[in-house]
Structure 1
Amino acid sequence: MKLYITLLAMALSVAAFAGNKDEQAIRTMLMKQVTEWNKGNIEGYMKGYWEDDSLLFIGKSGPTYGYTPTLNRYKKSYPDAEKMGKLTSTIVSLSKLSDKYYFVVGKWHLERTVGNLEGSYTLLLKKIDDVWVIVADHSS
């Protein structure tokens, strides 16, 4: 019986560590996005997104499908550092859906000389080739 309890405790510890490792990787990726945005580097910011035609971004103008159209949408909406401003992002919740998917709810704020913007976002992240990427983003 002691062996069973010990093995169960070890299995739970390994599972918790794996979850924490994934959550830390996701938080690190999202922090890198903020850092790249604040450098004025939209291409660097986009490294957090799935580079695929199936990427889904939903903003105030409706859905955009694909990595390149999403990148172009960002470049059009934020053509220079003044329009980009300084981004602050706060994770409200980070929920594991499965070993391959996480759901993130957060808030964003842009501090800009041309007028501040803020809103909320939901992200669906998928682990692809051992890397967490955003496969769907709904920002408003």
Structure 2
Amino acid sequence: MAQAVPTDDILAVLQKQEVAWNKGDMSAYMQGYWQDEKLRFVSDGDFKFGWQEMLAAYQDNYSDKSALGVLSFTVDEVKMLSNEAAVVTGYWSLVRMKDNPKGVFTLLMEKKSDVWVITQDYSSNGKS
């Protein structure tokens, strides 16, 4: 049996997040992120830190299924920085009843305790 290459493992994390989001399972979605206070993400034009803070921000902004919509990721590139770190760039989009927001993302993913997780997330909104 061939061993998966890191890019396969990284893409699997994003695929699991997409499925979890579309089921409305925020707990499962958040498993793709590093559960640490050093997790860094951009929100409202500012840097924020911590898994709990990120979860709270998602729960505030996406309080029900209509707000969640249907998420899809399109990965543009997975650039391996080492055997345990990669930069992932791509596009995200939501399909909702009232709008279809979309944008781009840059993720730093690292292997922590033998599991790939997002340690930094910069996602920006584009035109709806």
Q: Normalising by the residue count of structure 1, what TM-score does the alignment of the two structures yield?
A: 0.84
RMSD between superposed Cα atoms in Å: 1.3
C-alpha deviation, 1:60, in angstroms = 3.2
Is 1:102–2:86 an aligned residue pair? Answer: yes
What are the equivalent positions in structure 2 for 1:6-85 lying under 5 Å apart?
21-85=5-69
Which structure has the bigger radius of gyration? 1
Structure 2 residue runs of 5 or longer lacking an equivalent are none
C-alpha deviation, 1:104, in angstroms = 0.3
Alpha carbons 1:58, 1:139 under 8 Å: kept = yes
- In the alignment, the residues of structure 1 paired with residue 122 and residue 44 of structure 2 have an alpha-carbon distance, to the nearest angstrom, of 9
Alpha carbons 1:83, 1:114 under 8 Å: kept = no
- In the alignment, the residues of structure 2 paired with residue 95 and residue 58 of structure 1 have an alpha-carbon distance, to the nearest angstrom, of 21
For 1:87, the equivalent position in structure 2 comes to: 71
Matched residue count: 123
- In the alignment, the residues of structure 2 paired with residue 60 and residue 85 of structure 1 have an alpha-carbon distance, to the nearest angstrom, of 20
Q: Normalising by the residue count of structure 2, what TM-score does the alignment of the two structures yield?
A: 0.92
Alpha carbons 1:51, 1:67 under 8 Å: kept = yes
- In the alignment, the residues of structure 2 paired with residue 114 and residue 83 of structure 1 have an alpha-carbon distance, to the nearest angstrom, of 9
Question: Deviation per CA, 1:38-93, whole angstroms, max 9, x where unpaired?
Answer: 00111110000000000001133422100000000000010000000000100001
3-state DSSP of counterpart to 1:95: strand
C-alpha deviation, 1:126, in angstroms = 0.5
Structure 1 residue runs of 5 or longer lacking an equivalent are 1-16
Q: Which has the higher helix share?
A: 1
Partner residue of 1:139 out of 87, 104, 123: 123
C-alpha deviation, 1:121, in angstroms = 0.3
Identity of paired residues, percent?
A: 37
C-alpha deviation, 1:108, in angstroms = 0.3
Partner residue of 1:125 out of 106, 109, 119: 109
